[in-house]
Amino acid sequence: MSKVFAIHHFELKPGASAAALEQLLAANPFPTLPGWKSSYARGERGDRAGKYVLIHEFDSVDIRDRYFPAEGGEVHPDVQRLFEDPKMQAIGDQWDALATPLMGAVYTDYVVVG
């Protein structure tokens, strides 16, 4: 089965501290479930240098579809519980002061073909 990489773009808000955002991201890895890993990254070279992404890596299309059954649709109840966790809500408040939202962000899911 092919892996899936879901790449979500976000940016530092004007006037916000890149160091503060990166400290928040380093201290609070994105929560995941079995078969799903996530990483934050900052562009170093190229068109998006200095801008950020959240990269979700799913072990297969089936696992991605289990957690996120339809584009823009309801998520799996386990994922919903992750998002509703009070710690995630508190992190979201800090995020909102530093970076553009992930909800509604430009993203693309890439299925590994080779």
In CATH terms, the fold of domain 4-111 is Alpha-Beta Plaits (3.30.70)
Q: What is the average pLDDT across 72-100? A: 92
User: Each residue of 32-83: pLDDT tens digit?
Assistant: 999 999 999 999 999 999 999 999 999 999 999 999 998 878 999 999 999 9
- For residues 76 and 85, the answer to whether their CB atoms sit within 8 Å is no
Contact in structure between 11 and 102 (CB atoms under 8 Å) = no
What is the C-alpha separation between 23 and 82, in angstroms, rounded?
21
Q: Where are the domains of the chain?
A: 4-111
**pLDDT, position 114:** 85
**How many residues belong to the chain?**
114
pTM: 0.91
